[in-house]
């Protein structure tokens, strides 16, 4: 052993002082994790797949003829293509000499009298707002008015409330039953004499 591989003397001295009878027995468990049923089945399937690839015989393949199908266009597609071809031919054969020279005219639309007046008013208004002097404003005292009812109105309201309470709290049992007498006064002698004279 080299000097670097030797344990320190202090460590050896500590190990030598240990009493073997005081040491505890420790059971060592060896773990050997077995694969699950899914892992086994997956490995089996993989090996079977590899075996099938290695044992494959190319001679077992059969020759297949590929058929190329030509899809003919319908009448709508043919008519559309024909129109497009004719349009391209016309554009290609177009004679620029047949074009007429046109002089473009720029028209300036002047504002009406109303538009001018409205613009003028708006300019003056903006100018007056910009040149407005706040020092010309006068301080205005705001008086908050809370009109209270007069004594007459309070008294009338009070009487109305008392009247309502008296009607609501009125006891009908305190009323007395009254007999009504129907009177049919007969005419006196004088009235009869007057009616006779009036009849003559």
CA distance 127 to 122: 9
Q: What pLDDT, on a 0 to 100 scale, did the predictor assign at position 42?
A: 92
Structure tokens at 79: 């008519």
Task: Dump pLDDT digits (tens) for 78-120.
Answer: 999 999 999 988 888 888 888 888 888 888 788 888 988 999 9
CA distance 85 to 79: 10
Chain mean pLDDT for the chain: 81
Q: What pLDDT, on a 0 to 100 scale, did the predictor assign at position 184?
A: 67
CA distance 23 to 172: 111
Say whether pTM exceeds 0.85.
Answer: no
**27: Cα within 13 Å, side-chain hemisphere:** 2
Structure tokens at 188: 């006196």
DSSP structure class, residue 169: T
Task: Dump pLDDT digits (tens) for 45-83.
Answer: 999 888 888 887 878 778 888 877 777 888 899 999 999
What burial class does residue 4 get, using C-beta atoms within 10 Å of its C-beta: 0-12 exposed, 13-18 middle, 19+ buried?
exposed
């Amino acid at each position: 052993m080299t000097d670097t591989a030797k344990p320190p003397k202090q460590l050896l001295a500590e190990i030598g002082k240990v009493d073997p009878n005081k040491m505890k027995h420790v059971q060592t468990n060896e773990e050997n994790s077995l694969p699950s049923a899914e892992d086994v089945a997956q490995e089996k399937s993989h090996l079977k797949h590899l075996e099938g690839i290695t044992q494959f015989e190319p001679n077992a393949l059969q020759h297949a003829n590929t058929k190329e199908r030509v899809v003919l266009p319908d009448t709508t597609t043919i008519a559309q293509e024909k129109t497009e071809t004719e349009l391209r031919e016309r554009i290609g054969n177009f004679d620029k000499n047949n074009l007429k020279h046109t002089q473009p005219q720029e028209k300036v639309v002047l504002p009406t009298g109303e538009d001018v007046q409205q613009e003028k008013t708006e300019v003056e208004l903006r100018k007056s707002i910009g040149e407005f002097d706040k020092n010309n404003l006068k301080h205005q005292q705001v008086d908050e008015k809370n009109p209270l009812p007069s004594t007459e109105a309070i008294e009338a309201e009070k009487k109305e409330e008392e009247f309502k309470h008296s009607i609501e709290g009125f006891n009908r049992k305190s009323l007395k039953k009254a007999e009504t007498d129907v009177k049919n006064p007969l005419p006196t002698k004088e009235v009869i004499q007057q009616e006779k004279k009036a009849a003559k």
